Structure 1
Amino acid sequence: MKTFDETVVAGVTGHMNGDHTDDSMLIARAFGHPDATASVMTGLDGEGGIWTVTTPAGVTEMRVSWPGGPISERPEIRREVVVLYEIACERLGITPRPH
């Protein structure tokens, strides 16, 4: 399994948690936690992204595989997160914003 440098992971999670909190919430709700009240991206690797999700029942870790399969390059991360967001919107019946 591909692991990314800590600076890459920190950059991606910082961006997601700073600029895309709503996207993380949609991903949590669409991929297994429809009652999520908070969602924070805490990690990623070549196989998928990792979020800490808060629900009324408590806090849990959620791993979502990259839709396009395993990745190995930094630029692929953005593409896969965007696809996760689009799938989440589709599953939840929300019109995605343009990229």
Structure 2
Amino acid sequence: MSTPFSADAVDAIKRHMNDDHADDSLIIVRGMGGRPEATQAVTSDVTAEAIVFTIDGGEEISVPWGETLTERPQVRKAVVTLYRQSCDKLGIAWREEH
């Protein structure tokens, strides 16, 4: 996987996801990651093609964005899209503040 993002940008995105959106990450893993049984998800990488999570026992799950990202501001929109798609797939309501 390729990345247009600097190492510092990837670290900042991972830190933000893990500190502020751990529950959302788990929803993405359960819905769009195809792991409905997952109990924990930690954002471990961000590339142009996907967001990568480490779940439960250390397995890595790559969830494609649906498009190739070229700029850091696109990540937020792509995460919100994955979150909402996951909520819809799982039959749960998504929060409006996304």
Counterparts of 1:8 and 1:24 in 2: how far apart (Å)? Answer: 18
- 2:29 is paired with a residue whose SS is helix
Task: Kindly indicate which of the two structures has a greater share of residues assigned to strand.
Answer: 1
AA in 1 matched with 2:82: L
8 A Cα contact 2:49 2:68, kept in partner: yes
Post-superposition CA distance 1:26-60 (Å, at most 9, x none): 01111211110110000011011000011xxx331
Structure 2 unaligned blocks of 5 or more: none
Is 1:8 equivalent to 2:43 in the alignment?
A: no
- 2:92 is paired with a residue whose SS is coil
How many residues get paired?
95
Counterparts of 1:61 and 1:90 in 2: how far apart (Å)? Answer: 23
What value does the CA root-mean-square deviation take over the aligned residues? Answer: 1.0
Task: Compute the displacement of 1:4 (Å).
Answer: 1.2
- 1:2 is paired with a residue whose SS is coil
TM-score, length basis structure 2: 0.91
- Which of 41, 49, 52 aligns to 2:51? It is 49
The residue aligned with 1:64 is: 63
Alignment of 1:1-99 (within 5 A): 1-30=2-31, 31-54=33-56, 58-67=57-66, 69-98=67-96, 99=98
Task: Compute the displacement of 1:80 (Å).
Answer: 0.3
Structure 1 unaligned blocks of 5 or more: none
8 A Cα contact 2:29 2:63, kept in partner: no
